[in-house]
Amino acid sequence: MRAPPRHYPRSCRSYRLLLRRCCGQSNEAGDTTVTLHTVRRRAAVALALALGFYALSDILLWQRIFEAHKLSAFDSEYQTGHVAILVGLIGVGAVLLIDSGLWALWFGGALYTMAFGGAADVLYYWFDGRPIPDVLPWLDRSRLIFIRPSGGDVTNADVLASAAFWLGVWLAALLLFPRIRLGR
């Protein structure tokens, strides 16, 4: 029997390096232990993608279909479907991050609060290339947009402040959870 080569071909070494950098593979024996940095990065990227696609689905469904064909009489059905999309995104993301433990919960909480806390609305207008309207009365019922004048309609400044607040909360959690868990 022939002994395995001491040095892997260049393509194999590159592949192993890629595995270590992207997937957190830690040793030559094929251990797939994922580093904390990799897990946080995966959770943050999953959040950004899910939130982006949630906002994009809102543009494609609401604006391109419901508004274009004057179907606003079916608003409640649309909202039910849109929430189902969000729950599906949270479920798929949580399942894919389940081995990451706390980060699966971080993903679900961050996606839910940012979707209903104004970040998805900011992305909706940003992706569509339109300014955020001065007043957004359809967001008055959102309990996660709590930065607003009492008794008045939600304004674009309120939505931006709320989105910034939730982004700050979840970024702080992203940075502080490892320190708390490691006891630093």
pLDDT tens digits for 39-72? 999 999 999 999 999 999 999 998 888 888 888 8
CB contact burial 147-183 (16+ within 10 A = b; e otherwise): bbeeeeebbbebbbbbbebbbeebeeebeebeeeeee
146: tokens are 């709590």
Is residue 145 within 8 Å of 76, Cβ to Cβ?
no
Residue numbers in the chain where pLDDT is lower than 50: 8-9, 12, 15, 18-19, 22-29, 184
Is residue 170 within 8 Å of 44, Cβ to Cβ?
no
How far apart CA 131 and CA 121 sit, in angstroms, is: 11
pLDDT at residue 23 in the model = 46
pLDDT at residue 169 in the model = 97
Task: State the pTM of this model.
Answer: 0.78
pLDDT at residue 25 in the model = 45
Q: DSSP class of residue 4?
A: P
